[in-house]
Amino acid sequence: MTKQPERIFVKGNEAVARGALAARCKCFFGYPITPQNEIPEFMSAEMPKTGGRFVQAESEVAAANMLLGAGSCGIRAMTSSSSPGVSLKQEAISYMAGSEIPAVIVNMNRGGPGLGDIGPAQGDYYQSTRGGGHGDYRLLVLAPATGQEAYDMTIKAFDLAFKYRNPVMVLGDAILGQMKEGITPWQPEGIDDEAGRDWALNGADKREKRLIKSLFLEEGALAGQNKHLQAKYEDMQSYVEYEEFETEDAELIVCSYGSIGRIAKSAVRTLRAQGKKVGLFRPITLYPFPSEPLLALARQGKRFLTIEHNLGQMVDDVRLAIRTVADSEFAPIYPGNLPVPEDIEGPVLKCLEGK
Amino acid sequence: MSEMNEKLVFDRPSAMIDRPTHYCPGCHHGVAHRLVAELLEELGVVEKTIMIGSIGCSVFIYNYLNVDAVEAPHGRAPAVATGVKAARNDKFVLAYQGDGDLASIGMAEILHAANRGERIAVVFVNNTVYGMTGGQMAPTTLVGQKTTTCPDGRCADREGSPIRMTEIIAELGGTAFAGRASLDSVKNIRTAKKYMRKAFQCQLEDRGFGFVELLSACPTNWKMTPLQANERITNEMIPYFPLGVFKDVTEEGGAC
C-alpha cells in the first residue's frame, strides 16, 4: 500500500523554511523583520538538529555577508528578510553576483518605500530583477503564489544557485508569508553536496589555492568578467517558468505574479463564469522573464492588462516582451491596500469594455 | 668556507608566495603578512586555512599567501568569516583588516563576531589613516594628526578621540585573546608574533575569538621616511595605544 503523502497546515514562511531544510540548507543567517520572522524562528529551532548552523546576525548587512562567506565554501546557505532589510542586503548580493557565489535570498515583500508598512506589496520587483545593488548583474528571481510553491521553489532555488553559481531570490510577499494553508512536503533526491564544487573554498590541501573575489584591476580583466557574467545571464534565459490559465480563447489577458497572480486567477474564474473572455498569464520566473510565451500570445492578437501590487514595475517587462506587436494596459493596487478578487474584477471589466 | 658547511638560517615561509608585494617602502603590511605566513606554517594549518581579505591596501594579501581566500566588502570581514566558519567548522579562519575597515565601517561586525565568540582570528593593522584611498582620517587617527579630511589636525571636540579597539574587544564575553603589539622594532615584532600565535591558538583550541592589533606605519600618507614613521609609532602611537595583552583565557577553559 502506498503511503499517503503527509499534508501539513503551515504559513508560507514556514513552507519556505521547510523547503530549505528539505534542500539540505546547512547554514541560515537571519535578522528579525516583519513579515518574515517565522523563517528565522523555524530555522533557529531546526538547523542545529541537522548539524547545520543558525546565526542571528547583528544586522541584515552582516547576515548577507555571512551568507557570502558560507556560499564561498560551496555550502547550501540562505538568508531571508523583507523589503527594508533586503535593501541592506544589496551590498553583499552585488558582491556575491560579482564573485559568483551561490546563495538563496528570500524576500517577503512589504509596503514601501522607506519603512512603509508591514502589509503585502510588490514594490521590490525592480530591485529584485534589475540588480538592486551596484554594477551590472542579475539574480534569478522566483515568485511563488502558494504555500506549496513556496516550498517547491525554495528547493529549486538551491539547485539553480549552484547550477549557475549565482544568487537566487525567492520573492514572496506578506500575503504568502503570513497565510496558512495545506502543503505536501517532499524530499528531493540525489542532492550531492560536493558535486561541481571545484571552485569552493575548503583549504588548499594538496592543490592550488583558490581565490573568490570581485575585484579585477588589471586592464581588461573586469571587462572579461562582465562578459562572462553576461554570457551566464544569457544562458539563464533558457530557464523560464510561467502559468497560463484560460488563455486559449481569451480576448484580454491579465498579467500578474505571486499573490496577486493568485487573486487575479480567482477574478478570472468569476469573470469566466459570467462569459467574459479573460485569461491569466502568471510569470513564475521574474528573471529571466518569460517573454517568448507572452509574445506568442500577443501574436495571436490578444490584449493585455498588467495588475501588480505596486505602481507599475513588471508592466515594463510585459511591454518589452510584446512591444513589436502589442501594448499592455496597467492597473495598480496601491501598497497599503489588501486586495480581494473583486478589486481586480473591476479594472479587468473596465479594460475589456474599453476596447 | 665550503658550500657544505653553509647553514640556511632564514628563508621564505612556504605559505608565502614568491612575489614582490605592492606596498609602499616602509609599510608594515609586508611584515604582518610574513608573521601570518610563519605562524600558519608553524601551527601546521596552511592547508586548512581560509582567509578573508578586506578592503584597503591589504585586500591583496591573497596575492601573497598560499591559502584559500575570499574577499569581503568593506568592513564585513568578520561577518564573512562567521559564514565561512559556519560552513567549514574544521577549517582555520583568518580575517585581516585595516583600521578604517575594522574600526569605522565594520565596527558592528567586529564587535558582534567577538561577542559571539566566533572561532576565528582577526589581525587588525592600525596605521591611523585610510591608506588606499589616499590618507583620509580614520577612527584611530591621533589628535593633532593631519590627514586629507582633517587638514588642520584631528580635533577631539570636533572629530572625536581615536578609538582603542583592543580595549573594547577585550571587554566582550566571547573574546579569548586580545592583545596590542607594534611592528616598529625587532623586539616588538617578536612580541607581535607571540600574541598572534596565542590568538590563532584560541581558534585551534576552541576557546573563543582571537584578536591582535598591530601598530603599523604608513610612511606615504604620514609624509615621512620609513625611519621617521617607525619613530612616530614609538613616540606618538604607543603612548596612546599601549602595548600588551588585554585579555587572555588561554590558560583557562575558554571564553565561552
The domains located in chain B, with CATH, are 29-251 (3.40.50.970)
Domain hosting A333: range is 243-352
Nearest CA in chain B to A61: B76
**Residue A202 within any structural domain of the chain:** no
Same domain, yes or no: A13 and A150: yes
Domain final residue pick, A179, A202, A236? A236
Residues of chain B neighbouring A68 (CB-CB closer than 8 A): 70, 72-73, 76, 79-80, 83
Same domain, yes or no: A232 and A317: no
Interchain pair B116, A92: CB under 8 A: no
Q: Would an 8 Å CB–CB cutoff place B227 in contact with chain A? A: no
Q: What is the predicted pLDDT for the residue at A193?
A: 85
Give mean pLDDT, residues A77-87: 98
Q: What is the predicted pLDDT for the residue at B250?
A: 83
Nearest CA in chain A to B81: A69
Nearest CA in chain A to B83: A66
Give mean pLDDT, residues B51-77: 97
- How far apart are alpha carbons B217 and B29 in whole angstroms? 9
Same domain, yes or no: A333 and A304: yes
Same domain, yes or no: A229 and A277: no
Interchain pair A55, B48: CB under 8 A: no
Residue A332's CATH number:
3.40.50.920
Residues of chain A neighbouring B41 (CB-CB closer than 8 A): none
**Residue A17 within any structural domain of the chain:** yes
**Residue A335 within any structural domain of the chain:** yes
DSSP H/E element including A126: helix A125-129
Residues of chain A neighbouring B91 (CB-CB closer than 8 A): 202-203
Has residue A194 got a pLDDT over 90? no
Whether the full predicted model's pTM is greater than 0.80, yes or no, is: yes
Give mean pLDDT, residues B115-130: 98
**Residue A48 within any structural domain of the chain:** yes
Q: Please, what is the Cα angle at B125 between B106 and A205, to 5 degrees?
A: 90
**Which string of DSSP letters, residue by residue, matches chain B?**
--GGG--------TTB-S----PPTT-SHHHHHHHHHHHHHHTT-GGGEEEEE-SSGGGGGGGTB-SEEEE--TT-HHHHHHHHHHH-TTSEEEEEEEHIIIIIITHHHHHHHHHHT-S-EEEEEE-SSBTTTTSB--TTPPBT--BTTBTT-B-HHHH-PPP-HHHHHHTSTTEEEEEEEESSSHHHHHHHHHHHHHHHHHHHTT--EEEEEEE---HHHHT--HHHHHHHIIIIIHHHS--EEEEE-TTSS---
pLDDT tier at A156, thresholds 50, 70, 90: very high
Nearest CA in chain B to A217: B60
Interchain pair A67, B83: CB under 8 A: yes
Interchain pair A201, B59: CB under 8 A: no
Residues of chain A neighbouring B88 (CB-CB closer than 8 A): 73, 75, 201-203
Has residue A256 got a pLDDT over 60? yes
Give mean pLDDT, residues B172-176: 98
Give mean pLDDT, residues B48-55: 97
Same domain, yes or no: A127 and A153: yes
Q: Would an 8 Å CB–CB cutoff place B16 in contact with chain A? A: no
Interchain pair A75, B88: CB under 8 A: yes
Residue A69's CATH number:
3.40.50.970
Same domain, yes or no: A7 and A45: yes
Out of B59, B62, B83, closest to residue A69 by CB? B83
Nearest CA in chain A to B65: A209
pLDDT tier at B5, thresholds 50, 70, 90: confident
Out of A66, A202, A213, closest to residue B83 by CB? A66
Same domain, yes or no: A220 and A275: no
pLDDT tier at A195, thresholds 50, 70, 90: confident
Has residue A26 got a pLDDT over 70? yes
Same domain, yes or no: A285 and A321: yes
**Residue A43 within any structural domain of the chain:** yes
Same domain, yes or no: A266 and A343: yes
Q: What is the predicted pLDDT for the residue at A103?
A: 98
Taking the CA of residue B236 and the nearest CA in chain A, the distance in Å comes to 34
**Residue A297 within any structural domain of the chain:** yes
pLDDT in tens, A311-324: 999 999 999 999 99
Same domain, yes or no: A251 and A225: no
Q: How many pairs of residues across A and B have Cβ atoms under 8 Å apart? A: 142
Out of A69, A91, A209, closest to residue B81 by CB? A69
Same domain, yes or no: A164 and A148: yes
- How far apart are alpha carbons B247 and A85 in whole angstroms? 35
Has residue A355 got a pLDDT over 70? no
Q: Would an 8 Å CB–CB cutoff place B88 in contact with chain A? A: yes
Taking the CA of residue B205 and the nearest CA in chain A, the distance in Å comes to 18
Interchain pair A205, B47: CB under 8 A: yes
Give mean pLDDT, residues B170-182: 98
Interchain pair A201, B70: CB under 8 A: yes
| Mean pLDDT value across chain A | 97
Out of B49, B87, B89, closest to residue A69 by CB? B87
Are the C-beta atoms of residues A209 and B69 closer than 8 Å to each other? yes
pLDDT in tens, B97-115: 999 999 999 999 999 999 9
Nearest CA in chain A to B109: A62
Asked if the bond preceding B13 is cis, omega within 30° of 0, the reply is no
Q: Which residues of B87-99 are buried (b: 16+ CB within 10 A; e: fewer)?
A: bbeebbbbbbbbb
**Burial zone of A341 (CB within 10 Å; 0-12 exposed, 13-18 middle, 19+ buried):** middle
Q: Would an 8 Å CB–CB cutoff place B104 in contact with chain A? A: no
Give mean pLDDT, residues A329-355: 94
Residues of chain A neighbouring B72 (CB-CB closer than 8 A): 65, 68-69, 95
For the beta carbon of residue A336, count every other beta carbon within 10 angstroms: 13
pLDDT in tens, B195-249: 999 999 999 999 999 999 999 999 999 999 999 999 999 999 999 999 999 999 9
% of chain A with per-residue pLDDT over 70: 99
Q: Would an 8 Å CB–CB cutoff place B80 in contact with chain A? A: yes
- Looking at the 3D structure of chain A, how many domains does it have? 2
**Residue A159 within any structural domain of the chain:** yes
Give mean pLDDT, residues A350-354: 93
pLDDT in tens, A218-229: 999 999 999 999
Q: Would an 8 Å CB–CB cutoff place B44 in contact with chain A? A: no
Interchain pair B88, A203: CB under 8 A: yes
Same domain, yes or no: A186 and A257: no
Q: What is the predicted pLDDT for the residue at A1?
A: 53
Has residue B1 got a pLDDT over 80? no
**Residue A200 within any structural domain of the chain:** no
Out of A58, A62, A99, closest to residue B71 by CB? A99
